[in-house]
Amino acid sequence: MRVTLGIPNPHNKVCKLKKSLYGLKQASRQWFQKLAGFLNSRNYQQSKNDPSLFLKKSASNTTILAIYVDDILLTGSNSTEIDSIKRHLDDEFTIKDLGILHYFLGMEASYINEGIVLTQHKFTKDLLQLQHFSHKPATTPLPLHCKLTNEDPHDFSDPTLYRTLVGKLNFLTHTRPDLAFATQLLSQFMQTPKQSHFDALLHVLQYVNITAGQGILLKGEANLTLQAFSDSDWASCPISRRSVTGYLILLENSPTSWKSKKQSTISKSSSEAEYRAMQQATSEITWLVNLLEELNVTSLKPVTLYCNNQSAMQIAKNPVYHERTKHIEIDCHFTREKLMEGLNLFTYSKSIG
């Protein structure tokens, strides 16, 4: 920091910073440390599975506090404790109580008899206003048999617009699992987008336009179970020949976690590609089970993982396949380890793919 005006003999002097200023690189870290320290002093324990989650448990009650920078979600079974922590937060930091959750980080929460509906309707409307496009309805996120490459000789004239729209689509996937595959595909061409890539992006926007109010329903159930589905599109990328992993995890019948992502290495067979997809789904299952057990949601094991490749399931179950799978990285055999621990239960499903 430069010495401020008015200080006598400012040469060879510096300012000692006693508090972190807003906008500095370490400001967010300092803020989180201060907030975490305050919560710890109120007997809130930081989650081992999510550092932004704080829990206060007693024999009969649990209070949950989720943090995103300076936005806080607070819930629990003890209304007295909730009122108490809000008062203490207000005394320490001067907070604004916004009441029942309706809008948070671009997501809207609506309450119906079956549970809570999460949507991003306002964010979707703002996204669609960024670009003029034909309002011809599109019934699929991408055109049928869409294969995008870098061979198109026509560069798109406004790469910044392309990156902006794809970035917003990526944020929209927080409540729209149906857009996950299309978004990961379009994200591969952010550096030098072509006209064909932008045409595919416009098709996605046409689909979003007619499904603007779509979201996810989080149902309230007495007995919660986890089930997962994994799949892989072997060597689907025409550029790198890498496979694409996809998985979906349901808490009872509510979508909880999903992903569509290109695999980091080339798989030599469809079985290997499916096995890698199972590994990524298993990693997510492991994290979710540990997190839910912290929230007192127990009796989740074993979690059923559905797969449509018998060979991949046998690789996970049978270590005798070493000769055919010794080139697969050690971390992929994490799937087999979790199966032996009883975390997973693999089930064959013909309905995938």
pLDDT digits (tens, 9 = 90+) for 115-133: 999 999 999 999 988 877 7
Q: Which residues contact 238 (CB under 8 A, 6 or more apart)?
A: 147, 149
Strands 344-348 and 303-307: parallel
Tens digit of pLDDT for each residue in 164-187? 999 999 999 999 999 999 999 999
Tens digit of pLDDT for each residue in 18-50? 777 777 788 888 889 999 999 999 999 999 999
How many CB atoms sit inside 10 A of residue 56's CB? 18
Instruction: Answer whether 139's CB lies under 8 Å from 147's CB.
Output: no
pLDDT at 330: 66
pLDDT at 333: 74
Phi, psi dihedrals of residue 165, rounded to the nearest 5°: -65, -40
pLDDT value at 240 more than 60: yes
Residue 293's SS3 state is helix
pLDDT value at 296 more than 50: yes
- Residues 329-339, mean pLDDT to the nearest whole number: 75
CATH superfamily assigned to domain 221-348 = Ribonuclease H-like superfamily/Ribonuclease H (3.30.420.10)
pLDDT at 353: 46
Tens digit of pLDDT for each residue in 58-88? 888 999 999 998 899 999 999 999 999 999 9
Which regions of the chain carry the CATH code 3.30.420.10?
221-348
pLDDT at 320: 60
Q: Which residues contact 227 (CB under 8 A, 6 or more apart)?
A: 249, 250, 303, 304, 305, 306
